[in-house]
Structure 1
Amino acid sequence: MQRSSKLAGACVVVAMTLQLAFAGPPKAIEYVNPVAYRITQTIEVTNHDVSPLASLELNLPIPQEFREQRVQGVRIVGDDPFRLVDREGLGLAVRSFCVANAVPRPGESKSLSVSYKLICKEIRTDAEVLADREYRYDTSSAEYKLYTRAEELIEADDPEIKAVADGIRSGTTHPYWFARKAYDYVIDHTEYASPSPGMGARRCLKEGKADCGWYAALFVALCRAGGIPARPVAGCWATGDNNWHCWAEFLLPGVGWVPADPTVGDTQPDKREFYFGNLDNNRVALIKAYNLSFDTDRGHATLGFMQVGCWHWYRAFGGTGEKISVRFHEVGERAR
């Protein structure tokens, strides 16, 4: 009986060893638990008294495919809509550009909508694996330069932002730990507040109050100032009405883009650890940038923050009136 027990024990050890061997090393990042949603985003403009209206431009973002999301069956409804691709590949948009007889007269409206099915996955990372690795950036690459530059709303060259980044860097040069300290800094020094016009990373740092878009902007700016490629994500929660949200990502060579959501990490303290390096499967990444530029002669070539969409109009020379209203609407639900 004793020999049989030893033999059984040995078999268990062998089986566990084989299981570990076949399992392989732990994965740094995984995309799991896909969930399907249906999303519709609309912009509607009503002309109340402008006559005549010379032109009207409506713009909406179109989500791209990433490792954590797939986009299917995109349907666009509007007057002569056409797609636009950012010059640097940062995002996609659809535009309806109305002139002459196509513009709405007083009392009329024009709308543009985008609907699609989206498959969203959770992002899960192994913190120990990420923290143990060594990372080397190709600082001469176009990607590195793109995602470490200063730009509108992400003022990575601001002296005060650089000073904070230098302070973080004096404690660690490891990209993962730098990003973690930047994430903690934003949470510890920012209080959630309603959206305010004219915000950005600089004002978020100075005022210490921001909504999700500027939490993300400050995190990205700190990472970029410290030499860590990072980008904001403008999107929405996948269920509900007008449930807008922003978060961020930083790049680790050999791993890819790692998520960070300092807003939820701050407003839900019990989830602070989770939302550095991990992400739920209940959100839509609309555009992973805050500034877009297009090659087009039909409407504006440069668009700013494009989360909900944007619009422009011009009254004809000698025309009258000035009242035009806009309504943005987004709705998402689980797909059956």
Structure 2
Amino acid sequence: MKCPMCGYDTSLNYCPNCGTYPLEQEIIKCPKCGHENSKGLFYCSRCGISLMTYTVNDNSNLGKEKGTKDYSQKIERDEIHKKRIRSIMSILLGAMLLLAISYYIGLFNNPNTPLEHQLPQSYNAIITTKITNIDAEVGEAQLWIALPVNCGTQQNVSVISIDPEPDQIILAPKTCTKICYWDFNNSLPTNSTLTIVQNISFTANPFTTPIDSSKIEAYDYSSSLYKEYTKPSQRVEADDPGIIAISKAVVGNETNPYKKADLIYGWVVKNITYEIQEQELGARYAFYNRKGDCTEFATLFVAMCRSQGIPARLVHGYLYDSDTSAGHMWAEFYLPPYGWVPADPTGDHTTKSRFFFGRLGSNVLILSKGNVGLSTNYSEDNPFAFSYIAYYKSYNSGKLIFDNNAEIKKINS
């Protein structure tokens, strides 16, 4: 049939040339399958496609010129609408692609990434320790600094250099560290600074071992490990009456050590507020003041575990992320047959704990674990560094300022 407006020959019920609709014809041929449909059908009775490109309101009372103009305007509007939809879809698809890329990039770099997705990561660390004398000349200064070793999730440790070289390096195998020792005689005049630089490389692996609480075995109460890490120690006041009382209340009737440690962890995270301290204050301070930094969170968790018969120890090192290489302290508790299990309760009101209960990311440098013995001549009443990064003592000194930091960078594989 020819369109009465433009003369275009078509078998459809509208003119694809000028848009006039409807065209009065008895048979409407489907443009897809060729099926001949009766007049008045809007869809092909065989294949179901629309027999008209656009849904148009009844314009039987309008003149053909008016109908043509309306139809042309509708085509223009619909084309604009289609372009907008295509643009929106392109933007959405692009955004989804960027989110996917960002997710997979961040997955392996974010320390809070689910640990089953984290991979081992190699690093180079420059650890700098400075002691500045701001008062009278020091007659003698002794310095002990922890040196990382292969231990558990930390492997491939390589000491590139230590400057100046230590007088002694003593292995402390049960504490996952070596102790570097210097004895400086008359080397700290007033307003002078003593600097020690350690250059090391290492590989950190995530701790992802699943713990089945039903398979935990009984402790060997006579073992040196159990005795050592269930007793009070410096700043881990497991014998404090208040800490004992709250620990009993928190664990209640629970007897499974894994579940007891989980309850203690939850209480510390919920009840202690993160606040940076100028010095290490320990478990008792954290409990009675309800605040502290990583040292107080970790020492309180360890003290509460010990008070309930769960061996626990402190871990000292550095936490690495894209913005900082911060000194950090967390904890481990012992579960036979699994061994030492990590737990870091540190957090504040804006972030969750940096690590998780029973999990450890591949973004830490471990310097020492547990009670690190220094030497018999350090102090008769204080023979342990309890996971400190470094210790020093001096004679004839008014005041020394101690500073320790690390610059940690990833080694691309």
2:152 is aligned with 1:70: no
CA offset digits 1:45-102 (Å, max 9, x no partner): 3445634x311222221123222101422122115432234597564321211115xx
Q: 2:306 aligns with which of 224, 230, 235?
A: 224
- Residues 294 and 328 (structure 1 numbering): CA distance in 2 closer, same or farther, change over 3 Å? closer
CA offset digits 1:284-326 (Å, max 9, x no partner): 121112x5333355x65735355342322223xxxxx846544
- Residues 220 and 267 (structure 1 numbering): CA distance in 2 closer, same or farther, change over 3 Å? farther
CA offset digits 1:108-129 (Å, max 9, x no partner): 43322222111000111325xx
Q: Which amino acid aligns with 1:328?
A: N
- Residues 73 and 219 (structure 1 numbering): CA distance in 2 closer, same or farther, change over 3 Å? same
Q: Which amino acid aligns with 1:166?
A: K
Structure 1: stretches of 5+ with no match in the other structure: 1-28, 316-320
Distance 1:69 1:310 in 2: 23
> Which residue of the partner structure matches residue 180 of structure 1?
262
TM (normalized to structure 2)? Answer: 0.64
- Once the two structures are superposed, the pairs formed by residues 11-90 of structure 1 within 5 Å of their partners are 33-47=119-133, 50-51=136-137, 53-74=138-159, 75-78=161-164, 80-86=166-172, 89=175
- Higher share of residues assigned strand: 1
Structure with bigger RCO (C-alpha 8 Å, 6+ apart)? 1
- Once the two structures are superposed, the pairs formed by residues 1-336 of structure 1 within 5 Å of their partners are 33-47=119-133, 50-51=136-137, 53-74=138-159, 75-78=161-164, 80-86=166-172, 89=175, 91-100=177-186, 103-106=187-190, 108-127=192-211, 130-197=212-279, 199-239=281-321, 243-264=326-347, 268-269=351-352, 275-289=356-370, 291-297=371-377, 302-304=383-385, 307-315=388-396, 322=398, 324-336=400-412
CA offset at residue 205 of structure 1?
1.0
Distance 2:339 2:165 in 1: 39
Instruction: Kindly indicate whether the alpha-carbon contact (under 8 Å) linking 1:85 and 1:294 is maintained by their aligned counterparts in 2.
Output: no
CA offset at residue 267 of structure 1?
5.3
- Residues 234 and 323 (structure 1 numbering): CA distance in 2 closer, same or farther, change over 3 Å? closer
Instruction: Kindly indicate whether the alpha-carbon contact (under 8 Å) linking 1:183 and 1:262 is maintained by their aligned counterparts in 2.
Output: yes
CA offset at residue 227 of structure 1?
0.7
Instruction: Kindly indicate whether the alpha-carbon contact (under 8 Å) linking 2:148 and 2:157 is maintained by their aligned counterparts in 1.
Output: no
CA offset digits 1:26-53 (Å, max 9, x no partner): xxx99972100111212223445634x3
Q: Which amino acid aligns with 1:293?
A: G
Instruction: Kindly indicate whether the alpha-carbon contact (under 8 Å) linking 1:264 and 1:275 is maintained by their aligned counterparts in 2.
Output: no
CA offset at residue 194 of structure 1?
1.1
Distance 1:210 1:312 in 2: 26
CA offset digits 1:175-208 (Å, max 9, x no partner): 1100100101111111111124361111111111
Q: Which amino acid aligns with 1:309?
A: A
- Residues 151 and 309 (structure 1 numbering): CA distance in 2 closer, same or farther, change over 3 Å? same
Distance 1:107 1:324 in 2: 10
- Residues 108 and 211 (structure 1 numbering): CA distance in 2 closer, same or farther, change over 3 Å? closer
Quick check: 90-99 or 183-192, which moved more?
A: 90-99
